[in-house]
Every structure is written in C-alpha cells, then in structure tokens.
Amino acid sequence: CGVHFMAETSKILSPEKTVLIPDLQAGCSLAESITAEGVAEMRAKYPGAQVVSYVNTTAEVKAASDICCTSSNAVQIVDAMDSDIVIMTPDQFLAQNVAALSKKKVVWWAGSCIVHELYTAKDMRAYRENDPELKIIAHPECTPSVVAEADFTGSTSGIISWLHEHKPAKALLVTECSMASNIADELPEVEFAKPCNLCPYMKKITL
C-alpha cells in the first residue's frame, strides 16, 4: 500500500482484507498536521460549522469530522453541507482552492503538503515564458497562486481525463514526482515536463 493514512483508510473501507504497509514511518505532512483535538478546536471556533476532512487524514480525524472528501469531489461535498460555514481540514491550499469555487464560506486548518507547497507562481510563469505551448496542469494541493497560473487543476484522475480529452502536445505536471510519472506513463503521446518534487514519505515505500 502507499503511505500510512492510505493503508488505514483502505482497512476502514475493506475490514475483511489484510492491508500491509511496509514502513510505518511512511506518513504524510497533511495527515500529521491535525489531530481530533484540532478538529474540536475548529468546531469551538466556528460553532455550528460542519467539518469536511480530506482523505489525507488519520482515522481519528475522519471520525471527528462530519464527512471525508477527496480532491476530485471536495467542491461538491462542501456545497452539499448543511451549514453556511464549512471547516476544511487539514489542507489550507485545497480549502482555499475549494473556497474560490464553492457557494459556502470555507474556513480551514493550516496544514499543507510539503511537496505541493514548494511550487510557486513565479516558477509557472518562467516555464510558460520558456515554452508558450506548454499546458500547465496543477493538483489542487498547490497554492491558489499556482492554480491561478494553471490551464487545468484537478485530482490525479481528473488530470488524466483532461489530458485524454485535450491531448496537448506538451504538458507540465505540477504534482508529486512519482504521481506525475504514473500519469505520464498513461499518455505516451504527450511530451511531459516534470518538475520533480519527490515526497519523502512516499519514497520510503520501495516495493
């Protein structure tokens, strides 16, 4: 399996299965940024607001939340909540990107992905100046300023669908390096530029 929260989530969804994680230290900066106490703190700060937690969280945080979302359904989940204010944890950048598209007032926990937060809008502009043909494709864990420079922003599956549909000659994948490689393997006809930021947690799993 991938990092720890993925193994834990897989076990919750398939309790009858044996889930193996080769290295218990394979964590995630997002999952490690918040505990159930953090969720309680946010609820106390915003009484009545419902909590949407990203899948990159521990089981404890998921249990303390009202619902769990992925990067592909985050906007729909937030829009479907009953409260006018929605708390998103733990990714501040995913939350800010959702806030820009949602009809709800979104507030967030200040976690971030240590890989996606490294990308900057300045880098994106430099790539584009260097090659105006390049389509910039960003994951929503990137900062809103990077997302603003992108031609498309979406989850890994959303990125793959967009690339299949639009078939750009060249694309820049602004996401984790091994995820970018997996996407590139699916689309040999597209020339990919991959600014390679590897996740040190994911790198621990070498199977």
Binding site for ligand SF4 (CB under 6 A): 3, 28-30, 56, 113-115, 176, 199, 201-202
Cβ distance to ligand SF4 smaller for residue 50 or 53: 53
For residue 147, what are the contacts with CB-CB under 8 A and spacing of at least 6?
Answer: 97, 138, 140, 153
Cβ distance to ligand SF4 smaller for residue 149 or 176: 176
Distance, in Å, from the CA atom of 52 to the CA atom of 49, rounded to the nearest integer, reads 10
Beta bridge partners of 67: 52
For residue 178, what are the contacts with CB-CB under 8 A and spacing of at least 6?
Answer: 198, 199, 202
For residue 88, what are the contacts with CB-CB under 8 A and spacing of at least 6?
Answer: 51, 52, 53, 54, 74, 78, 94, 95, 98, 106, 107, 108, 109
Q: Shortest distance, CB of residue 148 to ligand SF4, whole angstroms?
A: 20
Cβ distance to ligand SF4 smaller for residue 30 or 171: 30
Q: Shortest distance, CB of residue 71 to ligand SF4, whole angstroms?
A: 10
Distance, in Å, from the CA atom of 175 to the CA atom of 187, rounded to the nearest integer, reads 16
Cβ distance to ligand SF4 smaller for residue 56 or 92: 56
Cβ distance to ligand SF4 smaller for residue 78 or 115: 115
What are the φ/ψ torsions at residue 96 (nearest 5 degrees)? -70, -35
Q: Is 107 exposed, middle or buried (0-12, 13-18, 19+ CB in 10 A)?
A: middle
Q: Shortest distance, CB of residue 109 to ligand SF4, whole angstroms?
A: 14
Q: Shortest distance, CB of residue 59 to ligand SF4, whole angstroms?
A: 16
Q: Shortest distance, CB of residue 197 to ligand SF4, whole angstroms?
A: 8
Q: Shortest distance, CB of residue 35 to ligand SF4, whole angstroms?
A: 16
Residue 160: CB atoms within 10 Å: 16
Cβ distance to ligand SF4 smaller for residue 8 or 104: 8
